[in-house]
Amino acid sequence: METKKMLIPNITCEHCVMTIRREVGKLDGVSKVEGDPTTKEIEVEWEAPATLEKIKATLKEINYPAAE
């Protein structure tokens, strides 16, 4: 099980967090997606077959790219 916090500058409200939670949560292996619009951070917990690359690609696809 891996966990990663990421800064998502495009987060402006709880609805943004809900969208991220729904879309990233669809990936096989993702077990938890939490977010905070005030800090613009999300925390994702996953295991195979999910990868950090797949998670970041999904975030970019839905217009919430992680800051590098």
φ, ψ for residue 29 (rounded to 5)?
Answer: 100, -15
**Domain ranges across the chain:** 10-61
**Which CATH number is associated with domain 10-61?**
3.30.70.100
Report the distance separating Cα 24 and Cα 53, nearest Å.
12
Mean pLDDT of the chain: 97
pTM of this structure: 0.93
Report the distance separating Cα 2 and Cα 45, nearest Å.
6
pLDDT digit string, tens, across residues 25-35: 999 999 999 99
